[in-house]
Amino acid sequence: MNIDFSAEELAFQTDVRAFLSAELPEEISQKVKLGLHMEKEDFVTWQKILYNKGWAAVNWPVEHGGTGWSSTQKYIWENECAKAGAPSVMAFGMKMVAPIIYTYGSDVQKNRFLPDILESNVWWCQGYSEPNSGSDLASLRTAAVREGDEYVVNGTKTWTTLGQHADWIFCLVRTGGPEVKNQQAISFLLINMKTPGITVSPIYLLDGTHEVNEVHFDNVRVPVENRIGEENQGWTYAKVLLTHERTGTAGVANSKQRLSGLKEKAKVTSDGYKMLSENATWQQKVAAVEIELLALEYTELRTLASVSTGKAPGPESSILKLIGTEIQQAIDELNVELAGYYSMPYVREQFAYGYDDTMIGPGQTANSAGKFFNNRKSTIYGGSNEIQTNIICKAVLGL
């Protein structure tokens, strides 16, 4: 995309590049660029570097520690981070629960939780989906029964990403009786993961990694003061949180960088065969993804401009999520096609920093199948793409 930056914006871009060059640890950058396994410490280390610079909370209001950047500055920041191989800020605290706390939380809650989120002293996870409540999230059954100044929580949450690291979890729980409509019987609770009665059970993926979990609540006592906003109004807050999540899921800057890297790898010859970049059919496939990505980028810019005025993302967040994740999967498919039979072997060690994959494929292509399969989830989490289509039809098209 060609954007005419002002002198001030060009100076900001120079400052960002200098900061990333000086402060982004090389090992972390290489892990991101090569798609290798990231440890909790990698994310925390980078987020604390951002905190010390004052650049951790790009989208927060200034009064709570935000940068106060314009939409153009945010655009510059995201693109420069993607080019440099900076990891995304872990979303659960910074991008998901924090906006709910500073928008709907009490002053006590803001003072208690926001500073630790900003400094990355606390790791958060999300308690939304349940074994029988995914896309139909309002049907959740984890119950919170009030007893005096506490709620007693019982139930199970599933697909809890990186919950094994979490200090706190933000949960949707049922606080209304069966006679109340589903959406009008849900509350939003903040729960300390060290509370007695909480058990985290790992879910191992097909590649053997421990990324997600089930979290079980057995008579877990939660202070009423940890409820966000009013009782039975949690569905309202949850919908706002999901718009923030879906906006971040678009991943435009990262997709641009991945597509650029893909095009470079396609210029490499292998086993005496012609460069794939010269194949007309391949060129058409890449061009189609590139055009979609360019259109999505303009939509993201319009959304950033709206958010910078203090508004929460609207239904355009569904467009960003829908198209953004489809583009991510299209790039995955192109990577597998580029790798060919080199994508077939699975060597778990290849996702560790420092592993030499030259024996199983050129140009870091051997892990393309692993990424392909893992990223199938992107069109499901944050509300499946079928749900996003329904939202767009109703809220944008008026159907």
Residue pair 300/238 in contact (Cβ under 8 Å)? The answer is: no
Residues 6 or more apart from 384 whose CB is under 8 A from it? 134, 135
State the pairing for strand pair 150-157/198-204. unpaired
d(CA 177, CA 97): 26
d(CA 82, CA 191): 33
Instruction: Give the C-alpha distances (Å, rounded to integers) separating 399 from 35, 84, 138, 323.
Output: 41, 43, 22, 20
Catalytic one among 78, 245, 300, 316?
245
3-state secondary structure of 26: helix
Residue among 371, 347, 373 at smallest CA distance from 359:
347
Residue among 174, 161, 166 at smallest CA distance from 191:
166
Within the chain, residue ranges assigned H as helices are: 7-23, 26-34, 40-53, 71-84, 91, 98-104, 107-119, 234-249, 252-265, 280-307, 316-339, 368-374, 385-391
d(CA 120, CA 116): 6
Contacts 24+ apart (CB under 8 A), 233-236: 233/187, 233/188, 234/172, 234/173, 234/175, 234/186, 234/187, 234/188, 234/189, 235/138, 235/172, 235/183, 235/184, 235/186
Reply yes or no on whether 245 is catalytic: yes
Active site residues: 245
